[in-house]
Amino acid sequence: MKRRVKYIIDLKFVDQLPKQEREELKEVTEKFAFRTNDYYNSLINWDDPDDPIRKIVIPTREELEVWGKLDASNESKYTKVHGLEHKYPDTALLLVTDVCGIYCRFCFRKRLFMNDNDEVARDVSEGLEYIRNHREINNVLLTGGDPLILATNKLEKILTALAEIPHVRIVRIGSKMTAVNPFRISEDKALLDLFEWFNTKTGKRLYLMNHFNHPRELTKEAKEAVELVHGTGTVQTNQTPILKGINDDAEVIKELIEELSFMGVPPYYLFQCRPTAGNKAYSTKIEETIDIVERARARVSGLAARVRYVMSHETGKIEVLGKTENLIFFRYHRAADPENCGKFMVFRRNPEAHWFDDYTDLVEEYRVETEEEFV
């Protein structure tokens, strides 16, 4: 018997929540889509209203607070053809689905799950043609939504087409499936065979970019799925935002990145939660988050400590390097404008900042103009 999950797309079927709470949250799920499954629900301690896994998937009325933008990193600016984003010369993103194993309440792409959104291309031929015509693209990220929600034969068509493009050397799959439905991987030999074929027969490399937010997601089942993916020669990493009430704790981040490194899944990025509409409840203050990240990194091996704390800003990936009593330091890790590549930036501190713009919007007040100010 194959192990499968049962998807739940209406709060009224979440029996663990009192009826009154389900009714109070209806307004939230009418605005921002809801989706969970019985496996993920089983990880929740329903007696604890502050349970971190619960906060990842169960809505809160705080999401109704007006804050942020639906497309906080202005991804539409980099959309070149339907379903394809091209921001950095060597990397293209193919948005292949608008469905996930669960809908994380803090998702920065929650706009994709809204009825009137049409950014995802079910037919990726236009995106593939764009990649074929841009020889500078050597790696492609399949994203969405969660690409592993697609049927294996659909994924096979996409991977086969990408394998035939000589200048594409790496394909990445951004997925939370190992955390939310590990059986999607462990029970599908055809998927594992596909991964292995890509790694051994095409001269290219597949990466699985996992999305574990909390150590409690690292279950026996999740570890089994990760191990099977390792067996296919796929390289794995992990990326997670730092999220208020979920993992904004040095001990939690330490445990997460350390355990991931033991699993052979190097932590890649810790993201600042984007100022996406509905996300105020999950966003942390940058200058407090630096302390969380540094305290966690100080207690793990260099392998786990390689993780970078970054903001996926409209202009590029900005690494938050550190702070002194008065100053904060950033550096472009990736930049849309080649002029900004590697650019080091110093601003006066703003303890209330949640995003890079909270420094640059107040440029008069926060920019450090002279080198003397470092002294």
The span of 99-107, 159-167, 219-227, 267-275 binding ligand SF4 (CB under 6 A) equals 99-107
Closest CB to ligand SF4 among residues 274, 331? 274
Interacting residue with ligand SF4 among 14, 58, 107, 281 (CB under 6 A): 107
Q: What's the closest the beta carbon of residue 108 comes to ligand SF4, in angstroms?
A: 7
Verify binding: residue 198, ligand SF4, rule CB under 6 A.
Answer: no
Verify binding: residue 104, ligand SF4, rule CB under 6 A.
Answer: yes
Long-range contacts of 22-26 (CB under 8 A, 24+ apart): 24/61, 25/58, 25/59, 25/60, 25/61
Q: What's the closest the beta carbon of residue 180 comes to ligand SF4, in angstroms?
A: 7
Q: What's the closest the beta carbon of residue 56 comes to ligand SF4, in angstroms?
A: 8
Closest to 246 in 3D by CA, of 235, 256, 261, 259 = 256
Q: What's the closest the beta carbon of residue 271 comes to ligand SF4, in angstroms?
A: 10
Residues 208-237 interacting with ligand SF4 (rule: CB under 6 A): 211
Q: Which H or E run includes 304? A: helix 302-305
The span of 47-55, 102-110, 227-235, 242-250 binding ligand SF4 (CB under 6 A) equals 102-110
The dihedral sign for the CA sequence 10, 14, 19, 22: negative
Closest CB to ligand SF4 among residues 109, 317? 109
Evaluate whether 123 touches 158 at the Cβ level (below 8 Å).
no
Interacting residue with ligand SF4 among 84, 92, 96, 100 (CB under 6 A): 100
Count, residues near ligand SF4 per rule CB under 6 A: 9
Q: What's the closest the beta carbon of residue 368 comes to ligand SF4, in angstroms?
A: 35
Query: Given its phi and psi angles, is residue 126 left (phi above 0), alpha (psi -120 to 50 degrees) or beta?
Result: alpha
Evaluate whether 76 touches 283 at the Cβ level (below 8 Å).
no
Interacting residue with ligand SF4 among 22, 54, 172, 176 (CB under 6 A): 176
Residue 19 identity (one-letter amino acid): K
Q: What's the closest the beta carbon of residue 243 comes to ligand SF4, in angstroms?
A: 10
201 Cβ contact list (under 8 Å, min separation 6): none
Verify binding: residue 268, ligand SF4, rule CB under 6 A.
Answer: no
Closest CB to ligand SF4 among residues 79, 199? 79
363 Cβ contact list (under 8 Å, min separation 6): none
Q: 3-37 in b/e burial notation, b at 16+ Cβ within 10 A?
A: eebebbeebeebeebeeeebeebeebbeebbbbbb
The span of 22-30, 103-111, 157-165, 310-318 binding ligand SF4 (CB under 6 A) equals 103-111
Which spans of this chain sit near ligand SF4 (rule: CB under 6 A)? 100, 103-104, 107, 109, 145-146, 176, 211
